[in-house]
A and B are shown apart, each in its own frame.
Chain A
Amino acid sequence: MEDSSFVVEAIAGIILFAVGARMLKLASRTGGRHERLLGTYLALAGISYAFYSIPLMGDVGSLFTPLTFVGRVVYTASIYFMLEFTRSVFRSEERWASWLVFTLMLGLVVGVGISSAQGDWEGYLVSSPWFWCEWLGYTLAPLWVGAEGILAFQNARKRVRLDLCDPIVANRYLLWGLFGILQVCGSLIIIPMYAGYEADQYFTFGTDVALGIFEILAAATTWLAFFAPTFYCRWIAEGSYSASPERGA
């Protein structure tokens, strides 16, 4: 990464870890499985961002590859918790969802495993077919999150108008869906970014900054979704999605 733009990724990692840790604290209080799944995902994602950022902050010499590889493995593990959370909240009764979780995780593990065995420990070689196996895993997972979140929001908005859903909950669906979409945008930016790295051993500034922006926006979205400040909750509750008149009223 060029200049100090890796700092943005580190900040995104800190936010994700903080939200994840807070969610795990909530899980310890409520004993809820979903809190635990989401908290673990966010905390692991935050840790992986740190492992990706540290080697870029200074000259770590021979530790560059091991640290990046650890970040890659931790991120891969985090995806399982993201997928399982999405499945258990939105598609707990549907068999295809379990197969989707299994297939995406298989793609990730095979992609990381074989590309590493072939010497690409960082996972930056776009020319390798195994890169694409891994890329599909960590791109389709947030795409599913985004789709489920937006779909849930659209339906929740209708329920809000009938007083069958809390506006804050509807907004939380929207933000969770946006988080998934922002993660997908990050995955798309990675392609030219890593292609440039493979060619020049250097991350180009434009893609680097774009990735940082998407990552920090995604991280901020999780904070706003789950630990929003009071004024934001009040704004959503008061204005929100109840602008149109109730049907039949």
Chain B
Amino acid sequence: MSEDLFDFAAERLEQHTSLDRLAARGTLRLALKASGLSPSGLRIEQLRVVLEKVLPDELEKRGVDGARGVCSGVAAALANVSISEESSGSADADEIFRRLGGS
């Protein structure tokens, strides 16, 4: 199984909450924006941090019960699938700018 990381997380979110597709994707998008990330070029380790530290608050704001449990469930699902990660994104720019300092 190989699919876009953002789509995968949004689908799991939709399955585990009362949010519809649009709301699930929108909520995840807002959580990414609050984390300085974008759906394109998202990395698994970045998504894990968002699921742990940012998304629970966003879900609670929308009245989702057991938000932390939902996010833990989505994070656990990430371990069982093969997800394609795009090569572009903040992580790549970060790596380039890290290298430019000579480190």
Contact = CB atoms under 8 A, between A and B. Distances in A.
Contacts, number: 84
Contacts of A159: 35-37, 90, 94
Q: Specify the main secondary structure of chain A where it touches its partner.
A: helix
B54 A248 contact: yes
B90 A156 contact: yes
B79 to A, nearest CB: 19
Interface in B42-95: 45-46, 49-50, 52-54, 56-57, 88, 90, 93-94
B47 to A, nearest CB: 10
A30 B99 contact: yes
Interface in A126-167: 152, 154-159, 162-166
Given A30-B99, A165-B36, A152 B93 contact: yes
A14 interface: no
B: contact size bracket: 20 to 34
A205 interface: no
Contact of A226 (B40, B49, B56, B101): B101
Contacts of A248: 52-54, 56-57
A170 to B, nearest CB: 9
Interface string A211-249: 000000000000001111000000000000000001111
Interface of B: 34-37, 40, 45-46, 49-50, 52-54, 56-57, 88, 90, 93-94, 96-102
